[in-house]
């Protein structure tokens, strides 16, 4: 019989057996999966754990602050925040292929974790044992879609599975690897992870990097961040957060179209709204959002984000579309 209490008891045992008294780091994104994985490992091995939040510059507005406010405040976990914005932008420069971008992001994450692990050891002084383990909030669908499941095709390389470099120095601790998102949420609630985190909509580890179709640049990220913040604000205001699985906003950075604003011609970029409903992200349907909410989002984005002159709606289910565009 599946229940979250059993999963916790079983995983705490397994984590203790795997890790022993070694040091562990956990990549924390502030999302549901990594937060619940961190909470499980903390329950198992306490302060052998240090969480690492990587600001890769591909975050939405307000996210870095939110991790400290919500997760650290409630769990007291030790947190290291790494500003890796330049590093990720440099690594991504010139790349447009989706799988290449995903693999670069996966690799840079690991390099940042390696640096952070060395700092954790240095800070521990003479008691500084090597960090041998990396905790990831990998779920079952991530494994399947990255080609790790039985008979599965490689649809895309999730940053924490198919995007890992070959010379990985850490052993992985992945206590959620057999679970679906709804199960992870149940485990999180049972562990006392705050509801604002447990009920957060999914946001992919590679962040806005896979929502800019084309090369990722600092300017494009600013444009997308502004459009995304407006869409999220209006969906929240309309009380729709729990009705939709997530709503990616995608910037078609290499596409331009002609528009008119005031008396002038514009030649700007489109953004795509991709609201989806889903149970487990393996399949999804596009969400029939109310027209007035769509209208408000569209008007606000085109008024407030000068580089964007067109807002379009993605009405494709999964399959054949995936949820993210890359
Ligand atoms: P797709 O685009 O494959 O997305 O239909 C399914 C779900 O997974 C999220 N997603 C990711 N999550 N790392 C993650 O942590 C990734 O590399 C990644 N790629 C996609 C996506 O947002 C959706 O919820």
pLDDT in tens, 216-236: 999 999 999 999 999 999 999
CB 319 within 8 A of CB 234: no
Same domain, 261 and 168: no
Which of 152, 173, 198 is the last residue in one of the domains?
A: 198
Placement of tokens 């850490």 in the chain: 170
How much distance in Å is there from the Cα of 94 to the middle of ligand 1? 23
How much distance in Å is there from the Cα of 122 to the middle of ligand 1? 35
Is residue 295 pLDDT above 60, yes or no?
Answer: yes
- Nearest CA residue ID for atom 4, ligand 1: 323
| Per-residue model confidence (pLDDT) at position 39 | 97
Q: Give the domain CATH number at 222.
A: 3.30.300.10
Placement of tokens 């913040």 in the chain: 229
Is residue 104 pLDDT above 60, yes or no?
Answer: yes
Q: What angle is formed at CA 215 by the lines to CA 213 and CA 216, rounded to 5 degrees?
A: 95
Is residue 150 pLDDT above 80, yes or no?
Answer: no
Same domain, 154 and 81: yes
Is residue 277 pLDDT above 60, yes or no?
Answer: yes
Burial 2-18 (b: 16+ CB within 10 A, else e): eebeebbeebbeebeeb
Same domain, 39 and 164: yes
Ligand 1 atom nearest to 102, measured from its CA:
17
**Into how many domains does the chain fold?**
2
Placement of tokens 């990396």 in the chain: 134
CB 56 within 8 A of CB 109: yes
Burial 302-315 (b: 16+ CB within 10 A, else e): beebebbbbbeebe
Is residue 149 pLDDT above 80, yes or no?
Answer: no
- Segment 25-31 mean pLDDT: 93
Which of 132, 165, 198 is the last residue in one of the domains?
A: 198
- Nearest CA residue ID for atom 17, ligand 1: 158
Could you tell me the two tokens for 108? 């840079």
In a domain, 189, yes or no: yes
Is residue 151 pLDDT above 80, yes or no?
Answer: no
Give the confidence band of 9 by pLDDT, cuts at 50, 70, 90: very high
- Nearest CA residue ID for atom 10, ligand 1: 204
pTM of the model: 0.94
CB 25 within 8 A of CB 134: yes
Is residue 159 pLDDT above 70, yes or no?
Answer: yes
Domain span at 107: 4-198
Task: Name the average pLDDT for the chain.
Answer: 94
Give pLDDT tens digits for 246-269: 999 999 999 999 999 988 999 999
Quick one: three-class SS letters along 186-198? HHHHHHCCCHHHH
In a domain, 325, yes or no: no
Across-strand partners of 25?
A: 50, 134
Same domain, 162 and 83: yes
CA distance 191 to 40: 7
How much distance in Å is there from the Cα of 58 to the middle of ligand 1? 15
Same domain, 8 and 54: yes
Placement of tokens 């990549």 in the chain: 27
Same domain, 26 and 171: yes
In a domain, 324, yes or no: no
The residues lining ligand 1, judged by C-beta closer than 6 Å to any ligand atom, are 145, 156, 158-159, 202, 204-206, 246, 281, 318, 322-324
Same domain, 192 and 288: no
CB 85 within 8 A of CB 61: no
């Amino acid at each position: 019989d599946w229940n979250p209490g059993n999963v916790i008891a079983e995983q705490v045992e397994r984590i203790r057996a795997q890790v022993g008294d070694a040091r562990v780091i956990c990549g924390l994104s502030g999302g549901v999966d990594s937060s619940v994985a961190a909470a499980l490992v903390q329950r198992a091995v306490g302060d052998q754990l240090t969480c690492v939040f990587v600001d890769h510059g591909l975050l939405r507005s307000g996210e870095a602050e939110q991790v400290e406010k919500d997760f650290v405040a409630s769990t007291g976990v030790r947190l290291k925040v790494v500003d890796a914005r330049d590093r990720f932008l440099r690594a991504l420069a010139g790349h447009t292929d989706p799988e290449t971008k995903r693999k670069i992001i996966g690799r840079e994450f690991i390099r940042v974790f390696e640096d952070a692990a060395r700092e954790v050891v240095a800070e521990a002084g003479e008691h500084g044992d090597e960090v041998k383990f990396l905790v990831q909030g990998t779920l079952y669908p991530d494994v399947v879609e990255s080609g790790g499941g039985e008979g599965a095709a490689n649809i895309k390389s999730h940053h924490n599975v198919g995007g890992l470099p070959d010379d990985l120095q850490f052993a992985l601790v992945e206590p959620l690897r057999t679970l679906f998102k709804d199960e992870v949420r149940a485990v999180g609630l049972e562990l006392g992870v705050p509801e604002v985190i447990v009920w957060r909509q999914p946001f992919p580890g590679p962040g806005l990097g896979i929502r800019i179709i084309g090369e990722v640049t600092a300017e494009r990220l600013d444009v997308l961040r502004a459009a995304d913040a407006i869409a999220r604000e209006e969906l929240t205001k309309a009380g729709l957060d729990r009705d939709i699985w997530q709503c990616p906003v995608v910037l078609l950075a290499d596409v331009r179209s002609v528009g008119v604003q005031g008396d002038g011609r514009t030649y700007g970029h489109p953004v795509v709204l991709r609201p989806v409903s889903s149970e487990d992200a393996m399949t999804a349907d596009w969400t029939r959002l109310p027209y007035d909410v769509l209208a408000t989002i569209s008007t606000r984005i085109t008024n407030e984000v000068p580089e964007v002159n067109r807002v379009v709606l993605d009405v494709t289910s999964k399959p054949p579309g995936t949820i993210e565009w890359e």
